[in-house]
Amino acid sequence: MLYPQQNDKRNRINLSGFWDFQLDPEEVGAAQGWSQGLDAPRTIAVPGSWNEQLDDAYHYLGMAWYLRDDVYVPDSWQGQQVMLRVGSANYYAQVWVNGQAVGEHIGGHLPFAFDVSEYVKWGEPNTIAVQIENHLQPNRIPAGNLPSTGGMGGSVLGGGYPASTFDFYPFAGIHRPVILYSVPQAHIDDVTVVTEIEGTTGIVSVTVQQIGDVSTGTLSLVGESVIATADLSFADGVAQVRLQVPDAKLWSIDSPYLYDLVITLQDGETVVDRYSLEIGIRTVEVKGTQLLLNGEPVYLKGFGRHEDFYASGRGLNEPLIVKDYSLMKWIGANSYRTSHYPYSEEEMRMADREGMLIIDEIPAVSLNFFGSEDDIATRLDMCKQQVEELVARDKNHPSVIMWSVANEPFGGPIAQMINPNMPANYDEIGRDFLGQLIDLAHTLDDTRPATLVGIMGASVEWIDLADVLLINRYYGWYMQTGRISEGKKGLEQELDSLAELNKPLLFSEFGADAMAGMHSIPAQVFTEDYQRDLIEMYLDVTAKHPFVIGMHIWNFADFQATQSISRVGGMNLKGVFTRARQPKMAAHLLRDRWKNKD
Ligand code: BDP
């Protein structure tokens, strides 16, 4: 799934901007020909969640239509393959060109593209329509409307609204750019780059896949000048090359050096297709209880985050990405997890450029292993699809250091609460499910560790499947509420037992809600003071344990969740920045600790 690009052989038109939009609660649009025109259109911005843009659609998660009828395809694209690509649409989408259905996609956060060559009209405007719905359903990933909770869900399953099983707003719509692009008939279809380091030499192994029957090509690696070149020779559509880069400039947190890898398909002297890609030479490895980047132990300082902001909702917001990166640099963070779904491709490129380490997560948040065998198989297939699509999309990003196949699969007390009659072999079913996902991540990419994120109280056998242990802990918040010193005891005890697993451990979530501007002495829950003190306690306790390889605070910024009695204004307030990106006291604590010490 290569990111479309414009060069001398390829074309791309970004269709971001104002589109026509109409809700379709009765789901009559397809039958009534809305794919060719909406009868009561209003304006919406693409990309962006509809919920944040239109006040009457805030809680609407049903079917809706997006349409543009002004799309010319340039004459110069004739003879090329014309593709229509959606960066992401949550959750189910079907795409139409000039009234013809060209394809559909399930899953809210990964790109999909269709060959629309035979549907486009030349010399006149084309009509592009996308219908999308985001019904919350028990077998979707992530799930909603769980029957065992009587359809009640919401924040921490406390019966919130909408009835998600996850603690963030189920924003809906076209969240990333819609791009019309063209590639030559014979073209570079995929590129896989793997890097190794031998002494001061970088090894860059490249596999190129092409569609068509061109048998040769070239490859060059460009730094300040051309560093290495090689000829490509294709057999069965695949060519492989191993480049040596003497005195390689490595990609690292402090110096995220990127080379340009330029690939051509060539018929004799004639260049048929060209694709270039920024790559970084670096290695990631787990050794004993350490995580190594370029052979050196790395300590992860950062956050769990969300794609979330006023008005744009979960939609791509490039100025916000730049702003968030500047705040993460200000605070001294070097890493984050794309909790709880894949973030935009634009953001992944930012991470490459800025030297940010990314734990790349699929949307398998709050999995449960209840239901019939068929139900479980449906969910497993969907998770596998997302692992496959994510690895295909992000495998070449040097910033990606780990795949996360699940966040907080329901086990222990939470599973019991949802379903008091849970099957005796529930833990076993869960382990098999999660084990299959970890195995799949390893099979698709054996160069990066794979992990899953454990919920408090769940069976240790599940997290033990991971190469790096990731755990979310809320001592002093959901447990021992208001008593940080009691929470500290719980944390210390658990750390002693986790040491026995002999694996690196990242605290992937911990924190407290804090209402910006609220203070108290002594520190009480929901004050900035309490959040600051709790975070400080975790940093102090974990610093004594060398197998702890990092601390990710939950959350970078306050974010929109569902409405419930534990979410004031529907907001999760665990951000160390507000939703508007103003610092709370904890942000200054972290800057002091991360910039000046550690
Ligand atoms: C964890 C979840 C996260 C929630 C967080 C919280 O992984 O999505 O937002 O707790 O309750 O259980 O704030």
**pLDDT given for residue 151 in this prediction:** 57
How many distinct helices (H) and strands (E) make up the chain? 10, 32
Ligand 1 geometric centre to CA of 337 (Å): 13
**pLDDT given for residue 421 in this prediction:** 85
For ligand 1, whether the C-beta of 538 sits within 6 Å is no
Tell me the angle at which helices 484-498 and 528-543 cross, rounded to the nearest 10 degrees. 30
Class of domain 11-134+170-183 (CATH, top level): mainly beta
Ligand 1 geometric centre to CA of 478 (Å): 10
Q: What are phi and psi of 57, to 5 degrees?
A: -110, 15
Which residues neighbour 582 within 8 Å (Cβ) at sequence distance 6 or greater?
Answer: 516
Mutate to test the pocket of ligand 1, among 155, 164, 167 (most ligand atoms within 8 A of CB): 167
Cα 531 to Cα 298, 397, 476, 519, 598: the distances in Å are 26, 34, 10, 10, 21
For ligand 1, whether the C-beta of 408 sits within 6 Å is yes
Mutate to test the pocket of ligand 1, among 340, 455, 473, 572 (most ligand atoms within 8 A of CB): 572
Whether the pLDDT of residue 65 is over 60: the answer is: yes
**pLDDT given for residue 157 in this prediction:** 63
For ligand 1, whether the C-beta of 572 sits within 6 Å is yes
46 beta partners: 17
Q: What is the DSSP letter of 74?
A: P
Tell me the angle at which helices 528-543 and 585-596 cross, rounded to the nearest 10 degrees. 30
Lowest mean pLDDT segment, chosen from 49-63, 421-435, 469-483: 421-435
Ligand 1 geometric centre to CA of 52 (Å): 22
Mean pLDDT score of the chain, rounded to an integer?
A: 96
Whether the pLDDT of residue 155 is over 80: the answer is: no
Largest CA distance in the chain: 77
**Active site members:** 408, 509
**pLDDT given for residue 23 in this prediction:** 98
- Three-class SS of 413-440: HHHHHHCCCCCCCHHHHHHHHHHHHHHH
Which residues neighbour 151 within 8 Å (Cβ) at sequence distance 6 or greater?
Answer: 145, 163
Which residue's C-alpha comes closest to atom 1 of ligand 1? Answer: 472
Position 150 confidence tier, pLDDT thresholds 50, 70, 90:
low
> What is the mean predicted confidence (pLDDT) over 442-454?
97
The percentage of residues in the chain with a pLDDT greater than 70, rounded to a whole number, is 98
- Give 369's Cβ-side CA count (13 Å radius): 21
Q: What are phi and psi of 176, to 5 degrees?
A: -140, 165
CA distance 144 to 172: 14
CA distance 252 to 210: 31
CA distance 481 to 492: 17
pTM here? 0.97
Ligand 1 geometric centre to CA of 142 (Å): 14
Whether the pLDDT of residue 37 is over 70: the answer is: yes
Q: Which two three-digit tokens encode residue 293?
A: 């980047």
Beta carbons within 10 angstroms of residue 181's beta carbon: 21
Q: What is the position in ligand 1's atom list of the atom closest to the CA of 366?
A: 7
Domain ranges of the chain: 11-134+170-183
3-class secondary structure, 412: helix
Q: pLDDT for 337-379, tens place per residue?
A: 999 999 999 999 999 999 999 999 999 999 999 999 999 999 9
For ligand 1, whether the C-beta of 562 sits within 6 Å is no
**pLDDT given for residue 137 in this prediction:** 95
Ligand 1 geometric centre to CA of 572 (Å): 9
**pLDDT given for residue 252 in this prediction:** 98
Whether the pLDDT of residue 249 is over 60: the answer is: yes
CA distance 530 to 7: 53
Instruction: Quote the radius of gyration of the chain (alpha carbons, Å).
Output: 24
**pLDDT given for residue 381 in this prediction:** 98
**pLDDT given for residue 131 in this prediction:** 98
Which residues neighbour 91 within 8 Å (Cβ) at sequence distance 6 or greater?
Answer: 106, 107, 108, 132, 133, 134, 135, 140, 172
> Whose CA is closest to 28, among 131, 178, 146?
131
Q: What is the position in ligand 1's atom list of the atom closest to the CA of 155?
A: 11
Ligand 1 geometric centre to CA of 340 (Å): 10
Q: pLDDT for 157-190, tens place per residue?
A: 667 899 999 999 999 999 999 999 999 999 999 9
For ligand 1, whether the C-beta of 164 sits within 6 Å is no
Which residue's C-alpha comes closest to atom 6 of ligand 1? Answer: 167
For ligand 1, whether the C-beta of 167 sits within 6 Å is yes
